[in-house]
Each structure stands twice: as C-alpha cells, then as structure tokens.
Amino acid sequence: MASNNFKFLFRLISLLIATASAQLSSNFYATTCPNALTTIKSAVASAVKKEPRMGASLLRLHFHDCFVNGCDASILLDDTANFTGEKNAAPNANSIRGFAVIDIIKSQLENLCPGVVSCADILAVAARDSTVALGGPSWTVLLGRRDSTTASQSAVISNIPSPLRNLTTQLYIFTNRGFTANETIALLGSHTIGQARCTIFRTRIYNETNIDSTYATSLRKNCPATGGDNKLAPLDTTSPTSFDNAYFKNLLNEKGLLHIDQQLVNEGIIYSQITEYSNNEEAFRTDFANAMVKMGNLSPLTGSNGQIRSNCRTLNEQISPSTRDVMKCQLLYSFS
C-alpha cells in the first residue's frame, strides 16, 4: 500500500510540473523585453569573470528558491519589521550569496523594460548562464514566472536538504519534488563547482574513515578541529572552477568533501551511475541540463498570480520613495 501511495505521489508531482511548464514559454519576453536574455547573460559573465565562485553561488540560489514552494524568487525577499523572509533560515544564513548580482541585473532590466521581467525568471536564467560561464552545459529556460508575495522560513528548513543528512533522507526530499534517483545524482553533480565552509565538512575530515588520508590531512590545515568555521574549501579538489565530471572521479577516489557526497558510492545502483558519469562527461552534462529544466518548472506562479517586483528584495507595495531613489543610484552605478 505504501509503495502504491508513493508511486501516486510521484506521478501527481510529475503531472503538476508538466502543467506548469505548459504555461511557460522560451520566448516569453520576445516582444516585451527582447534584450532581457542578453542583458542577464552579460551581467552574469562579468560577475563570474570577476569571481568564479559566483557561478556556483547563482546556481545554488536558484536551487534554494525552487525547492521552497516553487521557483518564485521568495528567497530574494529581505526581512522587514513586518515581514520575515527566507534568507536567515538555518540552511540559508551565512551560506547563500549572489544577491548583489541579481540586484544589478534587475536594475538594468527595469531600465530597459520596467515591470516586465520577474525576479524568478532572472534567477532561472542566471543559473543557466553561470553554469555555461564555467564551461558547463546550456539548456532552454522556459520563462513567464512571476514573483511571490510571501516567504516561509519553516519551509526552507523542511525542504532544503542538508549536506549532513544521510543519503536516504536526501533522496526522499528530491523524490518529494518529483525527481528520480538518477536526476538527483545528476543535480548533485553541481558540486563540481563552488566551495563549502569548514563547519559543514569538519566532522567528515576528522571523524569519517571513507576519505583519502592525504586529502583529509590537506583539508585539516585550513579547517581546524575547533574554530575557523568560515574557512573555505572547494567541493571539487581537482578543477573547482570548471563545470566538468571531476566531482564523480573524486568520489571514486574517496575525495568527496561533504558527507552526502561520499555516501553516494555506498549504493550499488547509484555507484554505477557515478562510474558512468566519471567515464562519460557528455552523459552527465545532458542529464544535468534536463534535470535543471525540470527543477526550473517547479510550481511557478503564472498568469495573474504573484507580481513582477520592481526590486527583487522588496514587495512592490512596500517600496518607499526613498527606496526607489536608492534603486536609481544602484542603476547608475551598475552602468558606470
């Protein structure tokens, strides 16, 4: 009975994703803001060139948005005296970044076509363009999402998978979003770029045994047993700023930085997929791109639902005249 309920839930989620994607379109801004995509691409390329780590940050920002009540830019909303956003929820606090890049892109688009391009769509396109900027695959981003007027810290805690959890829990969270085990492994391949803080991988390098001893020793030099929580290490020790299949090769050599990463090789079926990706980079790139399209279609707001925020950090009705002046200054600065 439990198995039948599980299959029904998975099919229902898949149906909802398919319905949502039918309401989106790859040419949504073709007439209303024809330069939207090139504007986003240029800004992302500039940001990643200045700081390669930003590519992973923008990709992760889209993921943390979509897994909490859908791809609706709720993650971008700031806390106010009367509103609690998602930025300070435990999985996000002192972790997610890239907000300033999104601010610049939004300012540029508001100058080109005010009130047209949503923050949710900016996140989706920026995730794709940042992946490409680091040598990764491209994919067609369906557009037409609108921005939420709500946020939920509790939903962040419930729906963002922790790198400290076991594999079964991780797979369960992704399955609840309609992803197969294969799609989940492909998405985890995004750990081929980016960095993690010492506090996230300290237990692994000091207490776990399924880690290459030389690799663990090198990590301990920058991540002490106590203190240094914000010291960084690359998720992919081989090519941390290139989107490739080195992450999977590292796992086969017990050089996964995070607990969840190295757990992947302990499952037979998953192990075979990791082996395939380590030998066939094109298969990984294709599967990753397809999984990203699916993630970008999670429960978007469309039609008259939500709004198109003028400032991604603030609901439209909350924007004061002084805030609009600040936005104008940010726009002038972004073009200077």
- Could you give the residue numbers annotated as active site? 64
Q: Are 194 and 56 in contact (CB under 8 A)?
A: yes
Distant-in-sequence, close-in-space partners of 190: CB < 8 Å, separation ≥ 6: 56, 59, 60, 63, 131, 288
Give me the residues paired with residue 147 across strands.
307
Residue type, 20: A
CA distance 112 to 90: 36
Give me the residues paired with residue 307 across strands.
147
Q: Are 301 and 72 in contact (CB under 8 A)?
A: yes
Residue from 334, 333, 331, 311 nearest 323 by CA: 311
**Cα-based distances in Å from 85 to 56, 76, 141, 245:** 22, 8, 26, 35
Two structure tokens written together for 74: 């709720």
Residue the block writes with tokens 């037409």: 144
Residue from 120, 125, 110 nearest 149 by CA: 120
DSSP letters for 94-125 = TT---HHHHHHHHHHHHHHSTTTS-HHHHHHH
CA distance 141 to 156: 24
CA distance 189 to 261: 9
DSSP letters for 177-240 = TT--HHHHHHHHGGGGS-EEEHHHHHHHHHH-SSS-HHHHHHHHTTS-SSS-TT-EEESSSS-T
